[in-house]
Each structure stands twice: as C-alpha cells, then as structure tokens.
Amino acid sequence: MSAIRLNDEQMRRFICDGVLVLDSIPDASFHQTIFDKVQYVNVQDPDVWFNILPRVSELQQVLDSPTIKGALQSILGNDYMLSPHRLSTPSEPLAPEERNLELKGYESGTPVGEGSRSFTVWHKDKLHHTRYHVPRFLFLFYFPQDTPAERGPTRVIPGSHYCDHITEADHRFAFVPDQIKAGSCLLTAIDIEHAGMSNLTDQTRHMIKFNFMRTRNPEEPSWDGGASDWQPPAEHLGRFQYPETWSYVWDWMRGISKTGFRPAKDVDRHLASLNGTNQQARLAAIYSLGAMGEPTLEPLISGLLSVAGQNRIQPHSYSQKEDGSFGPDGDPLERRWVDGAHIVQDEAYALSCLGEIAIDPLVQLLDHEDPWIVVNAAFALGEIGSPAARAMPKMAEILDTSDDRIIRAVLEAIACISSNTIPALPAISKLLRMPRDSWGVNPQVRREIIGDKIHLNAMNALALSDLYIADMEDLLIEVLEKPASDIDTPATALEILVRSGSPRSIRYAIRYLQAHRWDDTRWPDEVTSREAS
C-alpha cells in the first residue's frame, strides 16, 4: 500500500502543536510479537541501545507502514533519513505500595519502577545540534502495547518546540495521550518538551524512540495539500499563539521563497522583545522583523553584535545551592553555547528570515573574533539555505580552526545550505580523517565525545550535500572501514553509500553489513510460539 500523506489540517496542527498521534499497523498480534521480543531483549540484553532495530527487525515494518511513512514524508520530504539514534525506554511498574499516586499528568519527576529507563522530568533532548524552528528533525515514539494513562505514556507540552524555555505554569498544559492502542505512535518535533510518566500498573510499558532527519530543503509541499496560504487549524492542543511563526514555517515547508517585504512597523518595540522571557512577544518579534526587509537589517546586526565580548561561547558554570541542589551561575536564560543543544540569539533567527539581503553582512561576521558571533552568523546562513551557497568558500576556510564549537556550527550550516558543497569537501575530508581526540576546549566534556559529534556533523554535511557520489565515494568507504567507537559516523556513511546506487558503493555496503548484522534466529520458544501459531 502506498504512503498515506498528511492533509492540510493535520499539517497545520503539527506546525502549531509539534505532535500528532498516529496508528501504524492494525494488527494487535503483530504488536504483541514486538512487545514479547522487546521484553526479552530488555531482560537479556538491556544494553542493546541503538541496535534495537536490527535486534527486533519487525520494528522496520512499523516505520514502513503507510500512515507512518506518509507522515514522515509529509513533514521531512520524500528523502528523509532514519538516524542511527534509536532507543528502547521501558518504564517498569512502581512497587505495589507506591502506586497510590493521584497524577494529573503535568507533574515533573514522578517516581519510576526499578529498572526503568524512562525519564519523567520535563526536558528537551540534547542531541548536539542547534534548536531549529523549522522541522529538520522528528521523533517517533512507538508503543507496542495498549498504554492507558496509568501505564505511563510519553507526555508532551504542545507548542513548546518554539520556546527557549518553559516554566511550571506551562506544565499544566501538558498533553497526556490516554488510551493509546498497541501500535500507536507519537510523531513529534524533536525540540518539544516531553517526559515519561509513572507506571501505576503491574505490567512493563515499552516505548521505542526513533529519530529522523530531513535531507533536502523543501521546494514544494510534500503533503496532500499546501496550495493555500497559512490559516490556523480548526483546533489545536496548546495554549500558545504564534501566528507569525506558524505562517513562516508553513511557507518554508511549501518551498515558498520571499518575494517581498511588509512595511516596517513597530521596529523598536519588536527589537526590545528579542531574547526576552515572553515567548509570544519574542517569537512575534523574530518573524515580524524578518518580514520587514532592509530597515531591520542593520538593527538586527547591531543587536547581535551587542553581545560580543561577553564570553557567551562558554557554557554556564554550575554551583551548589543552599538546598544542596546544583544550578547555573548567573542568568539561566542567557543565550550561551550549550554542548548538548544550544539556542542562538533571536537576532540570528530573524536575520535568516531576511534572506538574500542578509547574506553578505553575515559572511563578514564569520571573520569576527568572538566565536559566539561566528556561531550565530553560521546558523543564520544555514537557515537561509541554498541562496547562501556563495558563503561556502568562507565556511570552508574557517573550518581550519581548533575551536570545536565553530567547527560544529559551521558544519551544521553547510548541511542546511546543501548547495555548492564542493569547496568545503577538502576541509570536511580532513576533519573526518582527524582522530577523535583532536579537539576540545571545554574540560567538562571528553575530547572523544566532541570528536564524535564533529565527525557526525561532517557526515551529515555530506549526506545533505549536492555532491556527486564520485566526489566522496572513496572517503565514505574509508570512513566505513575505519574502526569507530561511535555508531553514528559509519552508519551515516553506510546510508549515503546505499542511497547512491553506485555498484561499488553497494558492494562495500553489503560487505560491511555482512560483518555487522545481527543473528536474530535464536529467540526462545515463549517468544516465537505466538508467531508460529
């Protein structure tokens, strides 16, 4: 059966809320088989981590089901890529004497049963990339069993994927999907605030989390619709109202290029709202200023430069408080580099909306002495996309630095521009050939971890590039054959080789898989008996 694309109303709801609940395969016995296998792996091989998909290969049928595949294509485009990052996160039952909890669904940090890998504190995942407003990544949370609220489904705060922070007041607007049927999935924006929930039943709750990535900037709508201008959905889950943001994301996903600007109005008021704590005001300011053109260019550049010299490239330091807890020193909402996932200055988001007129000033900022300014300028150029292709030679030049934060940000931008990548190929190749421990200016983060993230960003830049396979085939095979402690880099190289269709690439990919495949034929009788019946 062909993929079932989202319609306009579903897409509008996703843009507003950042979450959709979807059914996959309407066969309860199929999902029971997956549950049994995941349960067995959870007990016998709890450290399976990223290898849960090859270990329980039926999960691929869920990902390929018409509803799930169609939704992924609708939001990420036809050429989306499944990330090597996927996890099994069981939530074990609380002890019987602990189950008398009266949960409303918005609590943070509720207790979990022994052996759980479910995290019940409200959080955004730290996947070592910038926080984007447009959908470049998605999470899919798959539940192989019926999951009523008391069994502990994943919760989300709708609309929080655009927020730079949330407060306890936002927790009360949590969406707790009740009565999830076996085979149901939550498809969410990757930067949405989410949390697990206490399991008050006597049965394990399993959930498999998958991560997907866009590989092409949109040129036209990839869902069943997109012909009309933005209008809000008939209803949506969140309390947030971000019409300027929603309209921008809708047009970006339709591949609509800016053809004109609106008259400049209330510029000073909007500038004062940037980087503030009022989410509605700051987001309205970003996308209003970004729609006004030339009159806002200089004020936005000046606003970005106003934080130069404040050492924001250094993460917050943490110290112990009077109550024994640890917290950041200084203003916790101040924009700074965060190794897990950073948020750039609001000026950078707005500058990216200006498009062509902002490119040359942003290229000039790539030479700035403050690394935080360089990181912000690179992000804005990446969000402009292919029109910023002329920035590629300068980006390639500044990859020759020892500052891992600049390297990672520039590689992200190269991936997002995904055009005229050839000038950057020598620098990317050099980075991939450097040892994992070659970088690291933050003593709190192991150099090998930083190296892995640089290598992954370099591979993503190749995966999203306009390079021909002949330009990078030797390099990809070299990466594939080199020992790696981190699965992300060789897995991405493998994906590029398979997608290329080159006979040589396919040959090397098959050889690699022959050496790394799982033998999943030795399931115990109690797991396989249901399949045979």
CATH of the domain at 134: 2.60.120.620
Residue 100, domain extent: 8-213
Closest CA to 450 of 402, 380, 386, 498: 402
Res 299: pLDDT: 98
Residue range 475-488: average pLDDT?
88
Q: Alpha-carbon Rg of the chain, whole angstroms?
A: 23
> pLDDT tens digit string along 405-456?
999 999 999 999 999 999 999 999 999 999 988 887 667 678 888 999 999 9
Alpha helix ranges (H) inside 90-195: 168-171
Q: Is 333 domain-assigned?
A: no
What are the tens digits of pLDDT across the range 350-407?
A: 999 999 999 999 999 999 999 999 999 999 999 999 999 999 999 999 999 999 999 9
Q: Is residue 459 part of a domain?
A: yes
The per-residue pLDDT for 251 is 97
Inter-CA distances, 249 with 18, 294, 353, Å:
12, 21, 11
Q: Please enumerate in sequence order all residues whose Cβ is within 8 A of that of 322, keeping only pairs 6 or more positions apart, or say none.
A: none
pLDDT tens sequence across 148-174: 999 999 999 999 999 999 999 999 999
Whole-angstrom CA distances from 358 to 140, 388, 425 are 35, 9, 25
Query: Are 199 and 290 members of one domain?
Result: no
In a domain, 45, yes or no: yes
Residue with more model confidence, 258 or 97: 97
Label residue 46 by pLDDT band (50, 70, 90). Answer: confident
Same domain for 402 and 474: yes
Q: Classify residue 449 by burial, with Cβ atoms within 10 Å: 0-12, 13-18, 19+.
A: middle
Per the domain annotation, does 2 fall within a domain? Answer: no
CA distances for 320 relative to 85, 109, 315, 331, angstroms? 33, 20, 16, 15
> What tens digit of pLDDT does each residue of 174-204 get?
999 988 999 999 999 999 999 999 999 999 9
For residue 203, being part of any structural domain is answered with yes
Evaluate whether residue 3 is within a structural domain.
no
Query: What pLDDT sits at residue 529?
Result: 60
Q: What percent of the chain has pLDDT over 90?
A: 82
CATH of the domain at 431: 1.25.10.10
- Structure pTM? 0.95
Q: Which of 213, 248, 282 is the last residue in one of the domains? A: 213
**Claim to verify: residue 56 and residue 177 sit in the same structural domain:** yes
pLDDT at 527: 77
- 269 and 156 share one domain: no
Q: Which of 432, 373, 376, 370 is nearest to 399 (CA)?
A: 432
For residue 439, the model assigns a pLDDT of: 86
